[in-house]
Each structure stands twice: as structure tokens, then as C-alpha cells.
């Protein structure tokens, strides 16, 4: 007999749109958080090296922010948003 269990997440991850990427000068983030709370946004270069980190206090709903990337090389970056 096989028993399975499905657990739904209480707080789904926020939806994120980042543009432009490849980045040159700045990256605009449009985030849609299901609930208000503390989040951490990190940017990584193509080598996987963390190049930016910021704690965010986000309201529930849509939130926009701009990250200044003028000190970074123009190129493609990966992001991670954690609660």
C-alpha cells in the first residue's frame, strides 16, 4: 500500500519580473508579494558570485524597486528573492 500526502504552502513565493536583463546601469524589479513581510533580494553574476544583497520590507501586493548596477559589469544576472 502506498500512502501520499500533499501539503499546500501557506505563503506562495512572490512573483518577480526583472528588466532589462542583460543589465547595464540599473535593473527594475516588479514584485507581487502574496503577503507583507521581510524578504531578501540577491543578485548573482554568471559565475554564481553574489554581487548584490538587500533586505526588503515589502507590503502585500505589488512593489517596485530599482537596483543601481552601475558598479557592475554590463551583462546577465540571476536573482533570488527569499522570505
61-82 pLDDT tens trace = 898 999 999 999 888 899 998 8
Closest CA to 82 of 37, 48, 51, 27: 37
Considering only the C-alpha atoms of the chain, give the largest distance between any 2 of them, rounded to a whole number of Å. 59
Which pTM value belongs to this model?
0.76
- 1 to 4, 59, 61: CA distances (angstroms): 10, 46, 43
Cell numbers 505589488: residue = 62
pLDDT in tens, 28-58: 999 888 889 999 999 999 999 999 999 999 8
Q: Which residues make Cβ contacts (< 8 Å) with residue 75, sequence separation at least 6?
A: 22, 23, 45, 46
Amino acid at each position: 500500500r502506498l500512502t501520499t500526502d500533499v501539503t499546500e504552502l501557506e505563503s506562495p513565493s512572490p512573483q518577480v519580473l526583472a528588466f532589462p536583463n542583460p543589465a547595464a546601469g540599473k535593473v527594475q524589479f516588479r514584485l507581487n508579494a502574496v503577503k507583507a513581510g521581510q524578504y531578501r533580494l540577491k543578485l548573482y553574476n554568471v559565475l554564481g558570485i553574489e554581487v548584490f544583497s538587500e533586505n526588503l520590507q515589502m507590503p502585500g501586493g505589488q512593489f517596485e524597486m530599482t537596483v543601481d548596477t552601475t558598479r557592475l559589469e554590463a551583462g546577465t544576472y540571476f536573482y533570488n528573492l527569499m522570505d
